[in-house]
Structure 1
């Protein structure tokens, strides 16, 4: 096939493997092409929302569940995410690994700086502060954290539910 003038066979060059994963340097959850910007509040600005700070301090699974539902755009419920967070906490004690995943996903969705340090370090060292910061960020972006993803969508539609478009029937006999 690929013969040189010495009649020696050289195999074809390897073709890149198609995986379906974009290899352009983007993180898997990056949706925004904007330059990264700062968080709306600092990591330790818990006094900005004292009620959420207290809830997060005594029951972080509630705050985490609310964050996860919004970041996942309603594909997981607040209760399911909070329960999984609690289960991981009780079984392994390493709940920060699970919650740092959502911080990374949220940062990618809203093009936020990875600050003050790596997402996993922030959650491992300051879990409650990180959850409060993420909660405040979503709240400042217009989400009512108490009502969940679906109700926030309906509120953006001014009280009207977002309905799927009508689709004509396919081929029939």
Structure 2
């Protein structure tokens, strides 16, 4: 490692910056290769009432919400139905939280989100429904229409169409 003129950043012989040796791994962006502060979630873990329809669906059939999440996080490589089906089967055994915590980690990695309020698997083990709702809201707040799947979102984006803005009550 070679020190640079830019402070604490260390550069390998390849010229790409690497994280300082004393930086904790939670602050290292694996996508940029440099230390960076993770961004906060757009909503809190317990803000399920921000989207009551999704909260209701997730409470009574979490495999639907998980399937929608997994399709977007996997960028369409696995369908909503297949992911939801696997989740449903694992729910019968009690191990669905282990499967879904992997997707929380992937989502955090894709958007450089902080691991909060605690470790991903612990969040899913203790608050499975709330964590699925939070992940759903995060993707929705990032412009995804969760009901149409990955490919339709890509098609909309390529045509320049973004998700409809949230509008307050109409008044005269």
TM-score normalized with structure 1 length: 0.73
Change (3 A) 1:32 1:78: farther
Q: Distance in 2 between matches of 1:56 and 1:84?
A: 16
Specify whether residues 58 and 116 from structure 1 end up closer, same or farther in structure 2 by C-alpha distance, changes over 3 A only.
same
Which residue is equivalent to 2:154? 153
2:121 maps to: 120
- Change beyond 3 A, Cα 1:67–1:30: farther
Distance 1:130 1:78 in 2: 18
Alignment pair present for 1:50 and 2:14: no
Change (3 A) 1:30 1:105: farther
CA distance in 1, matches of 2:144, 2:123: 23
Q: For the Cα contact (< 8 Å) 1:52–1:132, is it kept in 2?
A: yes
TM superposition score normalised by structure 2: 0.73
Q: Give yes or no for contact 1:32–1:109 (8 Å, CA) kept in 2.
A: no
1:84 equivalent among 83, 86, 89: 86
Higher Rg of the two aligned structures = 1
Secondary structure at the aligned position of 1:84 is classed as helix
Runs of 4+ in 1 over 3 A off after TM superposition: 29-35
- The whole-number CA distance in structure 1 between the counterparts of 2:133 and 2:91 is 18
Q: Say whether 1:99 aligns with 2:72.
A: no
- How far, CA to CA, are the matches of 2:31 and 2:156 in structure 1? 23
Measure how far apart 1:159 and its partner are: 7.2
- The offset of 1:32, in angstroms, is 5.2
Q: Say how many residue pairs are matched.
A: 136
Higher relative contact order (Cα pairs below 8 Å, separated by 6+ residues): 1
Partner of 1:63: 65
